[in-house]
Amino acid sequence: MFPSFLPASVQQLTEPNSIDLASQIQRVDIITSLVSRSIATSYVCQGTGGLPIVFLHGFDSSLLEFRRIIPIIAAQQQVWAIDLLGFGFTERLADCPFSSASICTHLQAFWQTMINQPMILVGVSMGGAAAIEFTLKYPQAVDKLVLIDSAGFSQPPAMGKFLIQPLGKLATKFLSSPNVRQGVSEKAYFDRAFATADAQLCAALHLEMPRWSQTLIDFTRSGGYGYLLDRLPEIQQETSIVWGRQDRILGTKPAQQFQQGLPQSQLHWVEKCGHVPHLEQPEITAQLILNFINRSSKLVPA
């Protein structure tokens, strides 16, 4: 039922959406300029019709975070979710660099190999920063942009550069603690009842992949994603900003900063929702995305 490259604990999933999406994860070998070998890249693709909608997940996460929203959108349009380089179930080669720049390079190679037409790019949290950086570098590949509780408004954390051995291993060991991850999960939701045992497994399954710890250290030491607001005026694509009204991870101020910085944007609040609208309010979030991409009128500049 499940692909062989997933950890054995995938068998412990209990919620239908989680089981269905995990069983549909595929891998494709992507050739990049980063390493001499191809990179086995994990993804899912569902639905048909329209411009492809491509989801990018958050920090230390995987495409499983889209388990509740993909079936809704796939009923009307083609939708993809990709595990970014260094994250999820995508292969982590020992000689590959892991940074925001390498993520962008890998994503472009995946897009050229598998999609190769303008797409609707949807970035969540750190995935939002990745989507912004990709749009800036490859504007021809992005028809419209959707940012969901997006990162990209703060300077890179200075401490990340000091995640060296043995401190790095201690830090990732702390991050892998079930109690720590459950606490973060509960904080991400407005309604903590969503932080179920199945949700915790979805959020931690990729930790069992080879080289998870070292790759996370490498990415963090690279500086990750930093301040992007100064470059937002360069983005000419129509942009929908979707934000949980009760986001306790990033707060709500960045939503207004993004709206002010993006030339063609609209801000949509999702009520009774925390940092993860696609998980906590998937029907509302999906409808906001579909309404945005299907209408023909231009956005009023912010």
pLDDT tens digit sequence for 33-61: 999 999 999 999 999 999 999 999 999 99
| Domain covering 27-294 assigned CATH 3.40.50.1100 in the classification | no
What is the percent of the chain with per-residue pLDDT over 90, rounded to a whole number? 86
Q: What is the pLDDT of residues 171-195, one digit of tens each?
A: 899 889 999 999 999 999 999 999 9
Other CB atoms within 10 A of residue 37 CB: 13
**If you average pLDDT over each of 125-129, 153-157, 181-185, which comes out highest?**
125-129
Look up residue 4 and give its two tokens.
Answer: 């062989």
Over residues 203-210, the mean pLDDT reads 97
CB 235 within 8 A of CB 262: yes
- β-strand partners of 270: 244
pLDDT of 158 strictly over 80 = no
* Position 142 confidence tier, pLDDT thresholds 50, 70, 90: very high
% of the chain surpassing 70 pLDDT: 93
Report d(CA 179, CA 39) in Å as an integer.
Answer: 32
Buried b (16+ CB within 10 A) or exposed e, 236-270: ebbbbbbbbebbeebeeebbeebbebbebbbbbbb
Indicate whether 79 pLDDT > 80: yes
pLDDT band of residue 162 (cuts 50, 70, 90) is low
Spatial distance between the Cα atoms of 42 and 59, rounded to a whole number of angstroms = 16
pTM (2 d.p.): 0.94
Residue pair 159/217 in contact (Cβ under 8 Å)? The answer is no
| Lookup: tokens for 14 | 């209990």
- What are the domain boundaries of the chain? 27-294
